[in-house]
Structure 1
Amino acid sequence: MGKRGLKIGSAGMVLALGALVSGCTSIKDHRGYIIDQALVDSVQPGVDNRESVEKTLGRPTFASEWGNKDWYYVSQTIETPAFRSPRTQNQVVLRVQFDPKGNVIDVQRRGMEQVARITPNGDQTPTLGRERSLLQDLFGNIGQVGAAGMGGSGTGSSGSGGSGPNGS
């Protein structure tokens, strides 16, 4: 019975370890436009226009706000390891440039070289202005009531001669 109990115990440990390891796998997710290279290759500068590009590739992920209204198609593969933040594993940005008449000038494809990995410095964002404590924020305006423009000068309190919205 002692040997059999040891085998059952070790089998239970292997199963528990397997369950723990399987819970630590990464999740891969695709976000954005699904690129079909044959369709992208069919968009030709000088031949296609906005309407034909929309029929071929669909609506863009977003369009530029300034200058020529370039269209962008963004495709990302994201991997999220267990208990960690998601990371971009692959990214493709397809940029379709148009002339002022709406004809295709150029089609550019960019990859991971455009991804910027930013590491914040601490958990605070530096700002301009004064440093104030919680008590200063709560009680900082005490004594400020009745300050300039609040009718304390005596000229506007009787209702005559004032230039404010209520005659003060």
Structure 2
Amino acid sequence: MIGTASRIRPALRTAVILAVGLAIAGCTAIYRNHGYVPTEEDLAKVTVGVDTRDTVAEAVGVPSVSGVLNDSGYYYVSSRLRHYGALQPKVVERQLVAISFSQSGVVQNIERFGLEDGRVIALNRRVTESSVNDKTLLRQLLGNIGNLGPGSVVSE
């Protein structure tokens, strides 16, 4: 009996240490990077007032997003997210480089923004309400029988 108990205690201690180690390892932060932002050296190759859309794409790279209205600019966006255990991922760093162009397609301005420069925009989803209120097609058709008048059938 004494020999069995002395063998169980080290095994139990090892199992507890292993469980605690796995629990701690499961709570470490995992980082994911998304997108691309050109470095300062790459942006130094772009000259305001001289370079065009094509030369910017060659020097810096193709943007991840471009301006929707009149191709007003190139936007390079990079985000770093932190996953911590079972919690929802959180954006810990975001950079945006905006290169705006004039009407003739020449570089007008280069700006760099960070997460601290941004502002939260609440999205408003506009959904068209349906006039169907859980009624079957047959119930809707039969429900309209009494609503028809002779003026709606005969036109002058």
TM-score normalised according to structure 1 size: 0.71
Matched, 1:146 2:134: no
- Alpha carbons 2:98, 2:110 under 8 Å: kept: yes
The alpha carbon displacement at 1:97 in A equals 0.8
Percent identity of equivalent pairs: 22
Q: Which one has the bigger strand percentage? A: 2
Q: Which has the higher contact order (CA 8 A, sep 6+)?
A: 2
| Closer/same/farther in 2, CA of residues 115 and 87 from structure 1, 3 Å limit | farther
Match of 1:132 in 2: none
- Alpha carbons 1:96, 1:106 under 8 Å: kept: yes
Query: Within 5 A, what are the aligned runs for 1:66-81?
Result: 66=69, 69-81=72-84
| Closer/same/farther in 2, CA of residues 108 and 153 from structure 1, 3 Å limit | same
- Alpha carbons 2:37, 2:96 under 8 Å: kept: no
In structure 1, give the amino acid aligned to 2:101. F
The alpha carbon displacement at 1:27 in A equals 2.1
| Closer/same/farther in 2, CA of residues 146 and 85 from structure 1, 3 Å limit | same
| Closer/same/farther in 2, CA of residues 137 and 22 from structure 1, 3 Å limit | same
The number of equivalent residue pairs is: 148
Counterpart Cα distance in 2 of 1:20 and 1:88: 24
In structure 1, list runs of 5 or more residues that go unmatched: 130-135, 164-168
Q: Which one has the bigger helix percentage? A: 2
TM-score normalised according to structure 2 size: 0.75
